[in-house]
Amino acid sequence: MTKVSDLAKMIDHSILQPTHTDRDLEEQCLIASKYYVASVCVKPYAVRKAVKLLKGTDVKVGCVIGFPHGNSSTDVKVYEAKQACADGAKEIDMVINIGKALGGDWDYVEQEIKSVTDACHQNDAIVKVIFETDFITRTEDKIRLCEICTRAEADFVKTSTGYGFVKQPDGNFNYKGATISDVELMRKYSGPNVQVKCAGGVRTLDDLLKMRAAGATRSGATATIAILEDAKKRFGNK
């Protein structure tokens, strides 16, 4: 039996748009607390304020690191993670170095993921490693990343940032975000202690249910209200 409360605890309510103001942060944190989601996912400067806004609730504060393109050095990502934890973040979503992965520098990629993961675990935070599957498109690369994250003892592998816009030959940008096939692959090739988070394009209740069936246990979402209100209508308010 599907419970609305279980679906709510799958959702990391995303508050990452570049245009978001402090007023928007307040409004979005209110939504997160009203719907009892698992966490909010915020930008680094917003962690302290989000922690204050959500005090007294069971909604955790998560923070993105090296976001959205993963280009920061390893030292900077580790520093960002430690600072976010010091500010009160309990969950860290880090973006891998996409260029290093595409270039096959797997030692660099693994060392970076391990460094950030260790820093977070030392500060009682969990880690979600973002592959950015709109850029990391080769199956063998996704499998390699799952294996690396398993060895590094990351808590989650994650499909996308929600901002992986790929420039097309005509100058326009294309974006897919999370797909069922990627979630299934990540679940298959990650270790049993590594969970899967989907993000990007999960906008409806049916989207969320399909991702759950494919193996995701968390999902980034901005359409939290629409998803959970639909769930209440379909499954009852429990």
Catalytic residue among 60, 90, 93, 142: 93
Strand partners, 93: 64, 128
**What is the β-pairing status of strands 156-158 and 195-198?**
parallel
Catalytic residue among 82, 90, 128, 197: 197
Give the pLDDT confidence score for residue 197 in this predicted structure: 98
Cβ–Cβ under 8 Å, residues 198 and 216: yes
DSSP state of 65: E
Give the pLDDT confidence score for residue 17 in this predicted structure: 94
Catalytic residue among 77, 90, 158, 207: 158
Domains in the chain and their CATH numbers?
A: 4-235 (3.20.20.70)
What mean pLDDT is predicted for residues 110-114? 98
Give the pLDDT confidence score for residue 162 in this predicted structure: 83
In Å, what is the CA distance from 186 to each residue of 7, 142, 192, 214?
A: 20, 7, 11, 10
Give the pLDDT confidence score for residue 146 in this predicted structure: 98
Does residue 124 carry a pLDDT above 80?
A: yes
Q: Is 158 known to be catalytic?
A: yes
**What is the β-pairing status of strands 166-167 and 91-95?**
unpaired
Q: Is 114 known to be catalytic?
A: no
Give the model confidence (pLDDT) of 194-234 as tens digits: 999 999 999 999 999 999 999 999 999 999 999 999 999 99
The pTM score is 0.95
What mean pLDDT is predicted for residues 21-42? 98
Q: Is 9 known to be catalytic?
A: no
In Å, what is the CA distance from 92 to each residue of 55, 118, 152, 174, 205?
A: 18, 12, 15, 27, 25
Give the model confidence (pLDDT) of 157-202 as tens digits: 999 998 877 667 777 767 788 999 999 999 999 999 999 999 999 9
Average pLDDT over all residues of the chain: 95
Question: What is the distance between the alpha carbons of residues 76 and 79, in angstroms, rounded to a whole number?
Answer: 5
Give the pLDDT confidence score for residue 166 in this predicted structure: 62
Give the model confidence (pLDDT) of 55-76 as tens digits: 999 999 999 999 999 999 999 9
Give the pLDDT confidence score for residue 108 in this predicted structure: 98
Give the pLDDT confidence score for residue 177 in this predicted structure: 85
Half-sphere exposure of 236 (CA within 13 A, CB side): 4
Question: What is the distance between the alpha carbons of residues 135 and 124, in angstroms, rounded to a whole number?
Answer: 31
Give the pLDDT confidence score for residue 6 in this predicted structure: 97
